[in-house]
Structure 1
């Protein structure tokens, strides 16, 4: 819960969106993935983000092998959604530091289409 992880800045997508509209965000060097944070509130570095994306692409490849890969992430079945979330959250527990899994959902929504087309 957010109460047990007080250093996490962006527990909800609204927290992140509100921050993005703030002057602080405009002067920040955290980049587009400022919401990808460790338990201590530190933003992931590019190497960790790259490793996470590699794992995410592997999970999507597994969906393809199982004939569960949707055309767009918004059309993912419950089985596909659960598979990706459980796989990624097991490897990257920091993805659980978000209400309703919004951080992983945002990543999937932003990255899936370009992966699917490649």
Structure 2
């Protein structure tokens, strides 16, 4: 999939271009009839939710990206404290591997995933003092 400078109007089939649209939908009773409602925002250009294997590959890619941030000294202790250059680097790495992350307003889908999964990854890959565990193999999936 090639996605260059997308806009919501260029991809009318995407249901959750903005986080507001996803939040409105996820708070509706109908959302909870979908067993995969928490990941429904990960959609292709036809609004189909990503397959489980694709979501697993995305999570593995995120963990690999976070390891890269640790190795370059750019990894934040919490995703909300990530500086602009860290976010730009991480988004560019992930968007190159998974162009679906370009199909969103201001990268909210990737930031949403990071907000949900980064805390657990940090817990598994740092000690109680908050130091990164570099002498063991970091986990690529939590």
Q: What's the TM-score bracket when you normalise by the shorter of the two chains?
A: over 0.9
Bigger Cα displacement from structure 2, 47-56 vs 25-34 = 25-34
Q: How far, CA to CA, are the matches of 2:88 and 2:21 in structure 1? A: 24
Unaligned runs of 5+ in 1: none
Runs of 4 or more off by more than 2 Å in structure 1?
A: none
Q: How far, CA to CA, are the matches of 2:50 and 2:117 in structure 1? A: 17
Unaligned runs of 5+ in 2: 1-6, 125-142
Figure out how many residues of one structure are paired with residues of the other and give that number.
118
Which residue does 1:39 correspond to in 2?
45
Q: How far, CA to CA, are the matches of 1:8 and 1:30 in structure 2? A: 17
Out of 91, 94, 98, the position equivalent to 1:88 is 94
Q: How far, CA to CA, are the matches of 2:87 and 2:21 in structure 1? A: 23
Structure number with greater Rg is 2
Correspondence 1:21-100 to 2 at 5 A: 21-100=27-106
Cα distance, 1:29 vs structure 2: 2.6
* TM-score, L = length of structure 1: 0.96
Cα distance, 1:28 vs structure 2: 1.8
Which residue does 1:9 correspond to in 2?
15
Task: From the two aligned structures, give the one with the greater helix fraction.
Answer: 1
Aligned Cα root-mean-square deviation (Å): 0.9
